[in-house]
Amino acid sequence: MLNQRLNAHYSVLALLSRAGFCGGLAVMFWFVAAYMRGQIWFTVVNYILATTMAGAAFTLAYLLLTAKDEVVVSIDATGFKHTRLTPTAIPWNVIQSVTSYIPYKSWNKTGVLLVMNPAFQQKLSIRPAERLLAWTTGYSISGSVIRLDASILDTDSDEISRVANSYISDRS
């Protein structure tokens, strides 16, 4: 089978909607904190939440402004590469499976599960900025499984898993 290459970019509409949602929450928390001054702890918690949501909105806006034509997920003969997650591609010989899944409290398949060899998982170098901002860019690592959020990409999770599985099936 002729293997194909897949390059996925950020979806502008998805980044705009997430930045708008986080910005709206920041304004709401700031408003609640400013007008509900009866309890000091309540005010402090709302200011912290407002600051956190504003940071997430600025992070997503920064991604929107700087990620023009940047390839986020790349699948080719060398392996599976998520540019914001790792600087190098994860080779196909350590990837056990790639499947799409439905994330918690979602209706559609927007996630990609990448199951790897546990020995390689220990050696996987993840960028420090991604460890800090993982909740804004949509990935999580638990054991030897990496969960990627494909809802902010211009390619759906079924297409990513189909192309990746063509390389995995050729390996065996």
pLDDT of residue 1: 46
pLDDT at residue 151 tops 50: yes
Residue 153: beta bridge partners? 10
Q: What is the mean pLDDT of residues 74-98?
A: 83
User: What is the helix (H) or strand (E) element at residue 147, kind and residue range?
Assistant: strand 145-149
pLDDT at residue 4 tops 60: yes
Q: pLDDT digit string (tens) for 132-147?
A: 666 555 556 666 777 8
**CB burial of residue 150 (10 Å; 0-12, 13-18, 19+):** buried
Last residue of a domain, one of 32, 49, 66: 66
Backbone angles phi, psi at 145, to 5 degrees: -115, 130
Task: Classify residue 1: in a domain, yes or no.
Answer: no
* Count of structural domains within the chain: 2
Q: What does the block give as tokens for 84?
A: 């914001």
Task: Classify residue 25: in a domain, yes or no.
Answer: yes
* Residue 125 falls in which region: left (phi positive, over 0), alpha (psi -120 to 50) or beta: beta
Give yes or no: residues 27 and 99 share one domain. Answer: no
The pairs formed by 12-16 with CB atoms below 8 angstroms and a separation of 24 or more are 12/64, 14/151, 14/152, 14/153, 15/60, 15/61, 15/63, 15/64, 15/67, 15/152, 16/64
- pTM here is 0.72
Q: In what order do the strands lie in the sheet with 95-101?
A: 95-101, 111-116, 145-149, 139-142
Under the banding of pLDDT at 50, 70 and 90, the label for residue 53 is very high
Write out the residue range of the structural domain in which residue 39 sits.
10-66
Task: Classify residue 51: in a domain, yes or no.
Answer: yes
Q: What is the mean pLDDT of residues 96-101?
A: 84
Give yes or no: residues 37 and 113 share one domain. Answer: no
Give yes or no: residues 62 and 79 share one domain. Answer: no
pLDDT at residue 71 tops 60: yes
Task: Classify residue 4: in a domain, yes or no.
Answer: no
User: For the chain, how big is the Rg over CA atoms in Å?
Assistant: 19
Map tokens 């023009």 to a residue. Answer: 68
Q: What does the block give as tokens for 156?
A: 């759906």
Give yes or no: residues 55 and 77 share one domain. Answer: no
Task: Classify residue 38: in a domain, yes or no.
Answer: yes
Under the banding of pLDDT at 50, 70 and 90, the label for residue 113 is confident
